[in-house]
Amino acid sequence: MLCRLATSGRSSTKFIVPLACSASRQKHTLPDLPYDYGALVPHISAEIMQLHHSKHHATYVNNLNVAEEKYKEALAKGDVTTQVSLQPALRFNGGGHINHTIFWTNLSPSGGGEPQGELLEAIKRDFGSFASFKEKLTAVSVGVQGSGWGWLGFNKEQGRLQIAACANQDPLQGTTGLVPLLGIDVWEHAYYLQYKNVRPDYLKAIWNVINWENVSSRYAACRK
């Protein structure tokens, strides 16, 4: 069954419920940033953050609400053809909303450095060292063809961390089964105004604002 995201708060995705379960669903809303648009300067400019959040993410939210309303109408009519035709819009805009809601909390003006505790130990176990992990995730993110995301995820079945890339706005968990811990947006709108077409420079800079406390909290939560 086609599902929609149900969120609790602005910082994390908690669970997924079938779209048809709620006849009077609440519309998705653009989450507030936990910091000012200029808080990540010089690594990510205020202009990029403002456009990325208030324009790009807002568009995904608006289009997701429209697609869900059309899907609800088609479901009530038993119009399977329309339900199927709406799935790409739900996937793209729903994924865009999921991904960016995670992304904002993965960043912090007091971020950077290395994680601590259980997350660091897991990174060393699964990638050899933090430096090796950082190199691998950077390489995967640089290598995304066109637009997409680089991810650190948790494989619950295997009990280990994995690196993955997703095209466009495909959500990590919905397409690979991995629980998202850290996402790096490599769409051009995430960096072009500041770094032009030099994606590696953007990826080098973003490590200075990674919120390891948030990533560690996500790791702890998905292991319960």
Residue 43 labeled ligand binder: no
Residue 185 labeled ligand binder: yes
Edge-to-edge strand order for the sheet containing 148-155?
160-167, 148-155, 179-185
Residue 100 labeled ligand binder: yes
Pairing of strands 160-167, 179-185: unpaired
Q: Which residues are annotated as a binding site?
A: 52, 100, 185, 189
Q: Which residues are annotated as a binding site for Mn(2+)?
A: 52, 100, 185, 189
